Structure 1
């Protein structure tokens, strides 16, 4: 491990890896702002919208462990550079297409590049910064990971004020290009001193496991839980997960030794990170559609309504290590997740007539919880492994984040879709087939000028479809709140106390 001696260079390196991290995080959050215009322009269904977002996170999450090991073995700087190049080229391709299926494939390729970027940014910090500065640097990293998501929303919202929905991908290309220049200029090379065998089998099994489970959850909303594709995908995902655990227990150089989860800090830190991003990206997916389709805001106006999130999250994340040092991860982590759950539950009570006061109250609770829980959980994970395995430690942390993101979008997206379709069915009954199918597929159809053919009934149909969508959003956020609240209880019961943090 080579520690950077010059404090000024450490600050520049931190800014550079922070920009690289923001490139990755904003590629999920920013797209949520563009989803309503994307759906209107391309005719994508609600399920296709879910896949446009989740094809990125599925590949991202499934390959993070392997990408972290590649960085440890072959050099973290080289893997970071390769990830930025692949990410930028795929985003450039997405900028030039309007076909939903092609877009899903290119987003998956962006996820491949992102898998090379995100774990490397954290492992650069944990291997290049002095031990006494790491918690503070990790706090900045966590703040960027959370606050950068919202900054991506504003950047996309600004672009969509003057350009088409696919201008979002121009933002991705620009961030990747600037980050690439910075990495080549200032980030030092580092790698493991000892090299074992690269666990390619484990990496592929992790990808199949994540992909199968997420595919099954997403398709269940449209096809039902008993459908052959849903059942097969879930079965393949679960079997691959079992095979992954079995393989990792037997192989001499595992990507992730499952026995690490016997350490309570490592296990509960991973659980906490997963649940934080389950909540955050499920929330982004549902709420940004609500703010545009139901409340009637433009993309920029919708993003501005989320401004309290980074204003609360970033400073809270920076103070969280000091609070955890005094109170312990168990208490801080449980309180953070509890606030997240309460924020989701509060915002899940919003109606068709949008009221900003209860929304802000829920958003502030949500942001405080995310900031409070994030840094201590990340520190617990990275401190569980030695310096030579910081790429894997970072990848575990990032896998938890991206698995949480993928599951949040899949589970809450599926809940939203299923509840919307059930609630909109009486509204569209008796309509001509094209209008009925379009409205059942997506609430975006309420913006279609073709609904004017329904005459006086059009206004009632649009209002009914929006009511149905509010029902779906409420059900999705309530499910998210319950899941996160259960996680808060588990952290409180199982996490180590202050003396072991």
Structure 2
């Protein structure tokens, strides 16, 4: 492959990844408009986000494996075509049911695209240093997409309706599909056995049911029968999946990889990092649009430093990890994330953007950026090229499950505190001023202050309205503070585990072939100071 073709293919892959990750965050800015126009409750708005996450998480492993077998370019092209078509459903939808159908289908097709992007990168950049830099750029684009979702969505909503966040996907997916077909080389496993359909079904069912239980836990209660049964069924299916993969000759995922610490511990770091990232994004959306009452565009502009920090830090961290080892960047990144959450937990009603909010965003962005590249490189270097799609799917699945847990756990803590402190106040509002749907929205989210502020009421009620808004904002901030401190604790614990468990001087350098089996037996424990090349 010529250098020009190589770089062109990489640029196209980055566009595909940007589209997929952007779809996870751009919808958040449109939620207030969707809620008002479609007259839905906060539960309905949660499902607008979670329908995508549920199908995306559930099908990542399956599509990663199918790409290894039948060609990653085929998965990439099919996923882009399906994503564009399913976005049209949401773009023309006029009720919540069709919006949810669109989001679920978008997540399904996105699961075909994302594992293929990283798998193709590992094949077009076989030289370790180039591969590390490419993965670092890939990681930074994923982070930047998370950050620029609000500003792109804010711009669209300033000029168009919420339907525009769906229409945006259609031309981008069409152009990306054309470029993929022209420029991206195909790759797949050199030799494959029969497809393990029972393993595929078990992986989809186990992950999907587990994610569903996590999503619904805040509504039904973490100890409710629905939640506990969901978790129990998920555990049973996941255990059955593991047993199946350990005994079959052609597994969907080689479970021996999890015995390799440079594979398992970076996967843990990514999961915990995204736990914090998506939890933080949930809180910061509430803060900027609810507490500060920013417009969607102003919200997006306020998060630009977050994107800049991610873009600069991720490629640099991956290159540095090649020199100092994988463990130090992972630990440093986790510590910075924890520090960012602690700083963010101290934000109050009159706090300055420059002195508290901005530092919290910068610390968390740099921390995530430092983790993503080295962790992804370590995971992919532990996987043979024939299993690059499956390894990429594991990398992506850990992110999505971590992110789902972050929204569910951190969001549940913040929402529970908020609900407890505003329920009585909202329930006492006369029906003539606020109907039942509006009250449910106000009890569930501080974003409802935008609707309350714009409501035309007699001037006599203005003092009471202002007092209600202040109480709602204070409850939201206090709940966010408690949730932030919990997230910081989880991150610091993970940092200790990684610092102890991952060899200090381990460096990625492309582990291939029979080394997987050898490292699985050893767990990289016998020679903690050796690099994979030295272990050969």
TM-score relative to the length of structure 2 = 0.88
1:359 aligns with 2:365: no
Match in the other structure for 1:301: 298
Q: Give the counterpart of 1:337 among 334, 338, 341.
A: 334
- Counterparts of 1:107 and 1:500, CA distance in 2: 39
| 8 A Cα contact 1:212 1:238, kept in partner | no
Q: 1:426-449 CA distances to partner (integer Å, 9 max, x unpaired)?
A: 322423462543422333433145
Q: 1:174-206 CA distances to partner (integer Å, 9 max, x unpaired)?
A: 321221121011011111111212223222222
Match in the other structure for 2:494: 487
Q: 1:326: how far off?
A: 2.5
Match in the other structure for 1:70: 66
- Give matches, 1:246-257, under 5 Å: 246-257=243-254
1:130 aligns with 2:118: no
- Give matches, 1:460-471, under 5 Å: 460-471=467-478
| 8 A Cα contact 1:36 1:289, kept in partner | no
Q: 1:154: how far off?
A: 2.0
Match in the other structure for 2:190: 193
| 8 A Cα contact 1:50 1:409, kept in partner | no
Match in the other structure for 1:291: 288
Match in the other structure for 1:380: 378
Q: 1:60: how far off?
A: 0.9
- Counterparts of 2:53 and 2:295, CA distance in 1: 26
Q: 1:149: how far off?
A: 2.0
- Give matches, 1:398-477, under 5 Å: 398-432=396-430, 434=436, 436-446=439-449, 447-448=451-452, 452=457, 455-456=461-462, 457-477=464-484
Q: 1:8: how far off?
A: 1.2
Residue 500 to residue 108, structure 1, CA distance change in 2 (3 Å): same
| 8 A Cα contact 2:27 2:49, kept in partner | yes
- Give matches, 1:11-90, under 5 Å: 11-90=7-86
| 8 A Cα contact 2:323 2:507, kept in partner | no
Q: 1:178-235 CA distances to partner (integer Å, 9 max, x unpaired)?
A: 2112101101111111121222322222222223233223323222234332222222
Match in the other structure for 2:521: none
Q: 1:17: how far off?
A: 0.3
| 8 A Cα contact 1:46 1:417, kept in partner | no
1:171 aligns with 2:176: no
Q: Give the counterpart of 2:323 among 326, 329, 333.
A: 326
| 8 A Cα contact 2:337 2:364, kept in partner | yes
Q: Which moved further from structure 2: 232-241 or 78-87?
A: 232-241
- Counterparts of 2:277 and 2:448, CA distance in 1: 26
Q: 1:410: how far off?
A: 2.2
Q: Secondary structure at the match of 2:168?
A: helix
Match in the other structure for 1:395: 393
- Counterparts of 1:185 and 1:439, CA distance in 2: 50
- Counterparts of 2:8 and 2:237, CA distance in 1: 41
Q: 1:279: how far off?
A: 1.7
- Counterparts of 1:255 and 1:445, CA distance in 2: 45
User: Paired residues, what number?
Assistant: 497
TM-score relative to the length of structure 1 = 0.94
Match in the other structure for 2:529: none
**Gaps spanning 5+ residues in structure 1: where?**
none
**Gaps spanning 5+ residues in structure 2: where?**
509-536
- Give matches, 1:199-210, under 5 Å: 199-210=196-207
Q: 1:323: how far off?
A: 1.7
Q: 1:440-490 CA distances to partner (integer Å, 9 max, x unpaired)?
A: 233343314558379242222222222222233223322222222211111
How big is the alpha-carbon RMSD for the aligned residues of Structure 1 and Structure 2? 1.9
Match in the other structure for 1:349: 346
Q: 1:378: how far off?
A: 0.4
